[in-house]
């Protein structure tokens, strides 16, 4: 978590410092589902998933203010929190439903992993990277972003 945050602050790059840990989290969840027969490997998969989520969060919270600007950032952050609160109720319900339907935790872990990977794709497809680069270039002429 600290290393990703420091790297993001040092380089000024935000999007990939969110997307890479989110991809790790999704792959960790999928690995835990696939390796559910082995307690040790399942725990490794869950640890990778936890590492990915925890590493992405500090950098993620920089994205709404960079994308929306100061005036509308409060509304955007409130919307993100609202979705998070709703998912805090819905996710356990869906997990239980999937577990009851399938008879195990493989399907809930796979669905979680796929949704997390989809979140990484959405962040990349949102255009936020181009918007942030354009905003930084306009604010600081002469800077080169890669």
What are the pLDDT digits (tens) for 61-80?
988 888 887 778 889 999 99
Q: Please tell me the total count of domains within the chain.
A: 1
pLDDT tier for residue 134 given thresholds of 50, 70 and 90: low
pLDDT of residue 83: 95
11 in a structural domain: yes
Does residue 144 fall inside a structural domain?
no
Judging by beta carbons within 10 Å of its beta carbon (0-12, 13-18, 19+), is residue 84 exposed, middle or buried?
exposed
Residue 86 lies in a domain: yes
The reply to whether 146 falls in a domain is no
Nearest-angstrom CA–CA distance, 73 and 95: 32
Question: Looking at the predicted structure, is the pLDDT value of residue 128 above 70?
Answer: yes
Distance between CA atoms of 146 and 92, rounded to whole angstroms?
Answer: 40
Q: Cα–chain-centroid distance for residue 72?
A: 22
* Model confidence at 141: pLDDT above 70: no
**Would you say residue 130 lies in a domain?**
yes
Of the pLDDT bands very low, low, confident and very high (cuts 50, 70, 90), residue 132 is low
């Amino acid at each position: 978590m600290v290393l990703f945050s420091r790297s993001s602050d040092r380089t000024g790059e935000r999007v990939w410092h969110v997307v890479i840990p989110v991809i790790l989290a999704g792959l960790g969840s999928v690995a835990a589902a696939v390796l559910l027969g082995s307690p040790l490997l399942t725990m490794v998969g869950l640890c990778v998933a936890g590492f990915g989520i925890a590493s992405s969060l500090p950098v993620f919270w920089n994205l709404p203010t960079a994308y929306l600007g100061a005036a509308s950032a409060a509304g955007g952050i409130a919307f993100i929190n609202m979705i998070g609160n709703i998912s805090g109720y819905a996710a356990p319900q869906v997990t239980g439903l999937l577990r009851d339907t399938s008879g195990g935790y493989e399907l809930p872990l796979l669905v979680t992993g796929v949704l997390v990977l989809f979140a990484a794709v959405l962040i990349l497809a949102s255009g936020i990277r181009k918007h942030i680069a354009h905003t930084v270039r306009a604010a600081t002429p002469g800077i080169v972003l890669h």
